[in-house]
Structure 1
Amino acid sequence: MVLFAATALVLAGCSSEGNGGKASDKSASEKVTVEWWNISTAEPLKSILAERVKEYEAAHPNVTIKNVPIENEAFKAKMSTATQSGKTPDIYSTWGGGVLQQQIDAGLVKDLSGDVSSWIGNFTPASLQAYQFDGKTYAIPNDIGMVGFWYNKALFTKAGIAQPPATWSEFLDDVKKLKSAGITPIALAGKEKWPGHYYWAYLAMRVAGLDALKQAGTDHDFTKPEFVSAGEHLKQLVDLQPFQKGFLGAGYSTPDGQAATVSNGKAAMELMGQWAPAVEKDSGKGLGDDLGFFAFPSVEGGKGSASDAFGGGGGYAVGANAPDEAVDFLKYIHDAAQHRKSVESGAVLPVLKGEEDAVKDPNLAVVAKALAAATGFQLYLDQAYPPAVGQEVNDSVAALIAGSKTPEQVAQAITETAKSE
């Protein structure tokens, strides 16, 4: 899923009037179509959800679930165009945050609070956070996760690195060790920009702290010294030239992109979400037991906690005019027995209480454990803030990584965009 990485979230589609919460009282012979746009294009989730659709349709002969998986980047592009149409499909993927808030303000999203009141308590509070506003629920979580470093244990050993770094200084030293051993330290999909924003976002969390990021979303001021310092720390890394050759033109999941570069042993690590192992396996040879995970290092003297996590997940919102069956279908696929199958497959991480034991993959278990121990959680900045602000974060950080913007210019550009919103 990735993800992984992100912009406005509205899709064009048609739907009929309904009040949600349970299947409507229409005649069983009356045909109902529920259009479902999602980003589950990779296995095993693609097949798992397709099976859920077949099961639901078999139990509800008058209902057709029009399952439309769309590749992540194409999905975002289509949504950006459709935002101005004033329509949504009946069910659609959302990352929540500021993007979902804009859709709510535009009257495009159904308030699910009353419809899901009897079963929303099954979800963990952290998984619901990005989809709740003013005490109301506007989407149902299907996955949650965090961004961290996925690394090649064998290459670390070859470079003389005994254990993953715990601090930013140690991380920079390890980058130097990898380079000295003739190993490309980091793979980056520079062309897609969103993977690069992870570095600045995490550094802002570690240097300025979560409260500062929340405050910046209110006062629209990213020029504070701590945000400039985050950029300066990132420049320290960039100055070491840690990325693979041609990274500025590299994609994420392409055959020669970020995930494949790590998967094929051509770079020692990547900063990516919990979906990384699956994408690496799809894009390259896969690292098997050599694949490991460590959390983003702390920054000496920073105000943020090393146990604060950055990431997000994926959920499903319901269009304002969707038929009742849309909510009923979401209830079905989030039944404890059904969602557990998705968790057991490794496609998603737990969002329902008591699912933790269903995580079988050891790497994903590490992520789940880190999330369980997290003292704070920050949603992806290109989702937490309004779309224009999130895009500016991506663009300006990409420019910093490319060497065309200074840390001060990054902070100023994000501030100017935020104040103009």
Structure 2
Amino acid sequence: MTTHVSRRSLLGLAGAGVGAVLLGGCADDEPSGPTSPQQIDWWHIQNTDPMLPVWAEMARLYTTRHDKITIEVNPLENEVFKAELAKVTKAGSPPDLFQSWGGGLLREQAEAGLVKDITSEVSPWIGQLLPAALQPYTIDGRIYGIPFDIGMIGFWYNRDLFAEAGITSPPTTWAQLLTTVQKLKSAGIVPIALAGKDKWPGHYYWAYLAMRIGGLGALRQAAEDGNFNTPDFVAAGEHFRQLIDLQPFQPGFRRAEYGSSNGQAAAMGNGEAAMELMGQWAPSIQASSSTSKLGIGGQLGFFTFPTVEGGKGEATDAFGGGNGFAVGRNAPPATVDFLRSLLRSENQRWAAETGAVLPTNLAAVGRIKDPNNQVVAAHLAVASGFQLYLDQAFPPAVGEQINKSVADLIVGSKKPEQIVKDITRVAQKQ
């Protein structure tokens, strides 16, 4: 269930792909519209600037050009979205178009007949997209969703706060990261912002440590046998405890959400913490969550997750994923065409220019203007391997247990050797 891709299938393919897109430019021609009224119910999680108004305008423009179609846009906060989607899918009535990260949950939805197999409908234009981005949405060779964004998790840091603590360069090893945290604390600076209430941000640490210690092979093996009770996964928890024991997180982190006005992103955007481990969307959410609505601007830097001495993983192995959309089983025929419009080169360029999206359309990759996103794209271009978020790669029950178990580790209610047993118990029931 896990997703692994080589460096050749990541952004490094963009150069060859763009030429093919330009030669096939007629694929962006508008199709003829429907002859009968259709309403599309669209759920997404871009509920803040900068993408909230962009999605709204794309929907408005589409309905202007297709007078028989109306689009009901429902922007939802991430956790609210997950809860509401679970309710409607359990009732057998998924939205027509809805946010998806692919992986284990999409497989379950496909096997339950909740989403449409859109392979034949998208085949005329699917070659315009990055192959790596499509993998989490491809189930047994069939396509059930389309990615509009691809990226990776890494550390975003405040250059000024690092300098204030006498730190001249970002850490490249786990030992150096621990030293960096100690220096920041000694300078009276909160080292790391964390949304403890949301749980999913915490799992990034354990997952990355498992990758650095055991290599991608450890994750691949766990996907096959459901066994996380191995020395590599235990060691990942033990290393994470080294960081947790330094008490690096902001006061009240256990109650903090990711995108709220007093949450993880706001702590970074307001200059109240020196680092956060987060995806490519972090700079835009830091800005929109900050008091100034501007974030920390040029003070923001990025570095990849450190290596672990003696670990089997490569320093260039990336952990992350992307955002996409799946099509509900009862969606009207125009839904896939509207989805196609979101992935057209001009709309992907528009999204890329906001700084919140790393586009999947090869023709739009060159329009990444935000310097932070350029850095992330550069790291992806040389990635030696790729691992999808664990709470998305595995079936939902396993992903939920991983998030819960890592949260237990963070607050000290469970030990490293206990959480791997808890995760294994759930995984081997699937």
- After TM superposition, the score normalised by the length of structure 1 is 0.92
Equivalent position of 2:317 in the other structure: 308
Of 132, 137, 141 in structure 2, the residue corresponding to residue 135 of structure 1 is 141
How many Å separate the matches in 2 of 1:257 and 1:40? 17
Given the alignment of the two structures, is residue 120 of structure 1 paired with residue 122 of structure 2, yes or no?
no
Supply the AA of the counterpart residue of 1:250: A
Equivalent position of 2:215 in the other structure: 209
Structure 2 unaligned segments of length 5 or more: list them: 1-29
SS in 2 for 1:80: helix
Equivalent position of 1:34 in the other structure: 40
How many Å separate the matches in 2 of 1:82 and 1:62? 26
Query: Contact 1:23 / 1:325 at 8 angstroms: preserved in 2?
Result: no
CA deviation profile, 1:215-257 (whole Å, cap 9, x unmatched): 2122010001000000000001111111112211112122221
- Greater Cα offset, 170-179 or 82-91: 82-91
CA deviation profile, 1:298-339 (whole Å, cap 9, x unmatched): 111111111111111111111123222001111112111121
Given the alignment of the two structures, is residue 72 of structure 1 paired with residue 78 of structure 2, yes or no?
yes
How many Å separate the matches in 2 of 1:328 and 1:207? 44
Equivalent position of 1:159 in the other structure: 165
How many Å separate the matches in 2 of 1:314 and 1:400? 28
CA deviation profile, 1:84-142 (whole Å, cap 9, x unmatched): 11121211110100000000110111111111111000001111111012221110111
Equivalent position of 2:393 in the other structure: 384
Equivalent position of 1:288 in the other structure: 297
Query: Contact 1:222 / 1:411 at 8 angstroms: preserved in 2?
Result: yes
Runs of at least 4 residues of structure 1 off by over 3 A?
Answer: 22-26
How many Å separate the matches in 2 of 1:410 and 1:95? 25
How many Å separate the matches in 2 of 1:115 and 1:217? 31
CA deviation profile, 1:131-154 (whole Å, cap 9, x unmatched): 012221110111111111111101
Query: Contact 1:189 / 1:251 at 8 angstroms: preserved in 2?
Result: yes
Given the alignment of the two structures, is residue 259 of structure 1 paired with residue 265 of structure 2, yes or no?
yes
Query: Contact 2:152 / 2:320 at 8 angstroms: preserved in 1?
Result: yes
Supply the AA of the counterpart residue of 1:339: Q
SS in 1 for 2:119: coil
Equivalent position of 1:185 in the other structure: 191
How many Å separate the matches in 1 of 2:125 and 2:210? 36
SS in 1 for 2:276: strand
Alignment map for 1:60-99 (pairs within 5 Å): 60-99=66-105
- Greater Cα offset, 295-304 or 247-256: 247-256
- Greater Cα offset, 313-322 or 397-406: 313-322
Query: Contact 2:97 / 2:328 at 8 angstroms: preserved in 1?
Result: yes
Given the alignment of the two structures, is residue 224 of structure 1 paired with residue 233 of structure 2, yes or no?
no
Deviation at 1:25, TM superposition (A): 8.4
Equivalent position of 2:18 in the other structure: none
SS in 2 for 1:129: helix
Equivalent position of 1:107 in the other structure: 113
How many Å separate the matches in 2 of 1:49 and 1:251? 24
Q: Flag the 1:338–1:265 CA change in 2: closer, same or farther, 3 A.
A: closer
Deviation at 1:83, TM superposition (A): 2.8
Q: Flag the 1:243–1:194 CA change in 2: closer, same or farther, 3 A.
A: same
Supply the AA of the counterpart residue of 1:79: L
Query: Contact 1:24 / 1:325 at 8 angstroms: preserved in 2?
Result: no
Equivalent position of 1:346 in the other structure: 355
Supply the AA of the counterpart residue of 2:396: P
How many Å separate the matches in 2 of 1:245 and 1:321? 46
- After TM superposition, the score normalised by the length of structure 2 is 0.90
Alignment map for 1:309-328 (pairs within 5 Å): 309-328=318-337
Equivalent position of 1:45 in the other structure: 51
SS in 2 for 1:240: coil
Structure 1 unaligned segments of length 5 or more: list them: 1-21
Deviation at 1:262, TM superposition (A): 1.8
How many Å separate the matches in 2 of 1:83 and 1:23? 31
Equivalent position of 1:12 in the other structure: none
How many Å separate the matches in 2 of 1:82 and 1:363? 37
CA deviation profile, 1:154-205 (whole Å, cap 9, x unmatched): 1111111111011111111111111111211111111111111110011011
Supply the AA of the counterpart residue of 2:154: G
- Greater Cα offset, 243-252 or 195-204: 243-252
Supply the AA of the counterpart residue of 1:81: K
Identity percentage over the alignment? 55
RMSD (Å) for aligned C-alpha atoms: 1.4
Deviation at 1:23, TM superposition (A): 7.0
Equivalent position of 1:198 in the other structure: 204
